[in-house]
Amino acid sequence: MTTRAKTPASTSLATLANDLRLACMRISRRVRFESTDIVAPHQFSVLARLEETPRTPRELADIERVSPPSMSRTVAALVERGLVLRADDPTDGRQVILSLTPEGVRTLKDIRRRRDEWMASRIKGLSIEEREVLARASEILLRVAGE
């Protein structure tokens, strides 16, 4: 059985949307689980959010769309590992502000390096033309994602 190569003109919008969604999901899943020996994917996400700026546990729960008790467990595990620091909010003593420790920053960089190495290992066998297509596609995908 031979399959005809899809061209933009022969691909319906619905087919393209489905194919693109599946490809993005599969790559995302593979990359997310590439460094689970260091921290779990949901913990990595919290570390990345704290790299942007210190936050309260409630802010993190809202951003990550998880319950506050679930975020409390995630934060407690990261604090216990020395990756996140808890500090009293100077303006509201009832609040706790979370930030990355130096070890948390190193861990985040290490995970990103490993994930980039994984991706590089996947694309190194591609032709120059295929890499150029991926470079253009990356720009388009960022626009689609609203980045």
Structural domains in the chain plus CATH codes: 36-144 (1.10.10.10)
Q: pLDDT over 90 for what percent of the chain?
A: 71
- pLDDT over 60 at 9, yes or no: no
Q: What average pLDDT does this structure show over 63-70? A: 95
Q: What average pLDDT does this structure show over 100-105? A: 98
- How high is the mean pLDDT of the chain? 90
- pLDDT over 90 at 77, yes or no: yes
Answer whether 0.95 is exceeded by the pTM.
Answer: no
Convert the pLDDT of each residue in 17-51 to its tens digit: 999 999 999 998 888 887 778 899 999 999 999 99
Q: 1: pLDDT confidence band, cut at 50, 70 and 90?
A: very low
- pLDDT over 60 at 2, yes or no: no
If DSSP states are collapsed to H, E and C, what string results for the chain?
CCCCCCCHHHCCHHHHHHHHHHHHHHHHHHHHHHHCCCCCHHHHHHHHHHHHCCECHHHHHHHHCCCHHHHHHHHHHHHHCCCEEEEECCCCCCCEEEEECHHHHHHHHHHHHHHHHHHHHHHCCCCHHHHHHHHHHHHHHHHHCCC
**Residues 6+ away with beta carbon under 8 Å from 104:** 47, 50, 78, 82, 83, 84, 85
Q: 10: pLDDT confidence band, cut at 50, 70 and 90?
A: low
- What is the CB neighbour count within 10 angstroms for residue 113? 11
d(CA 32, CA 44): 9
